[in-house]
Amino acid sequence: MNTLDAIKARRSVRGFTDKQIGDADLDAILFAGGQAAVGGADFKSLKLYAVQDPELLKAIDEASAKRRPGSHPLYGAPTLVVLASKESILPSIEFTNAGCVIENMMLAATDLGIDSIYLWMSMYGINDDPDIIAKLGFPEGYTCVGTMALGYATKEFPKLKADEQRIEVTVIK
């Protein structure tokens, strides 16, 4: 799949089957994350974790649902990638780095036929729960700055305005 096709094919999936993704695919997706543009090339400020332990996924799902009781913010995904960051050498750049790293991984997943979604809600669930942070093993000074669920969709999810520009554009020549 070429890059533009992957960009068009990616869409957020909000329901996953139990089928786990393969280890080689997970490695390729995490590698893509490490190839992202990162401000100041401060790669040391970032750490990636891939969670496939059902108990830890359940704990993150429950902790993340506290702001919306009854919901399942991980949508049943069998893999959750967690990006942690400490303060970067460039102040306040952490969430921008997260966007680049996670978008790279979502596009790599699309290329491999794996469904994904960028998840903000689970970031709160992780950061609010010291037990979860301990289980993930963040070093001192690191917090979660973004997460991404991976797996296989339970059904086709509609693409939002897939064939048209979704952001207003101005070209100045």
Ligand X SMILES: Cc1cc2nc3c(=O)[nH]c(=O)nc-3n(C[C@H](O)[C@H](O)[C@H](O)COP(=O)(O)O)c2cc1C
12 binds ligand X (CB under 6 A): yes
Dihedral over alpha carbons 140, 108, 97, 134 (to 10 degrees)? -20
Q: Cα 51 to chain center, whole Å?
A: 11
46 binds ligand X (CB under 6 A): no
Distance CA 54, CA 114 (A): 19
Burial class (CB in 10 A: 0-12, 13-18, 19+), 125: buried
119 binds ligand X (CB under 6 A): yes
Q: Smallest gap, in angstroms, from Cβ of residue 127 to ligand X?
A: 13
Tokens representing 111 are 């290329």
Q: Which stretch binds ligand X (CB under 6 A): 38-46, 82-90, 119-127, 128-136?
A: 119-127
Q: What is the full DSSP assignment across 96-129?
A: HHHHHHHHHHHHHHHHTT-EEEEESHHHHHHHT-
Give the helix/strand (H/E) hosting 147: strand 143-151
Question: In the range 78-117, which residues lie near ligand X by CB under 6 A?
Answer: 117
Q: Smallest gap, in angstroms, from Cβ of residue 6 to ligand X?
A: 13
Question: In the range 13-32, which residues lie near ligand X by CB under 6 A?
Answer: 14
Given candidates 30, 50, 100, 121, which one binds ligand X under the rule CB under 6 A? 121
120 binds ligand X (CB under 6 A): yes
Question: In the range 147-166, which residues lie near ligand X by CB under 6 A?
Answer: 160
Q: Which stretch binds ligand X (CB under 6 A): 7-15, 17-25, 46-54, 127-135?
A: 7-15
Alpha-carbon Rg for the chain in angstroms: 16
Q: Smallest gap, in angstroms, from Cβ of residue 24 to ligand X?
A: 25
Binding site for ligand X (CB under 6 A): 11-12, 14, 117-121, 160
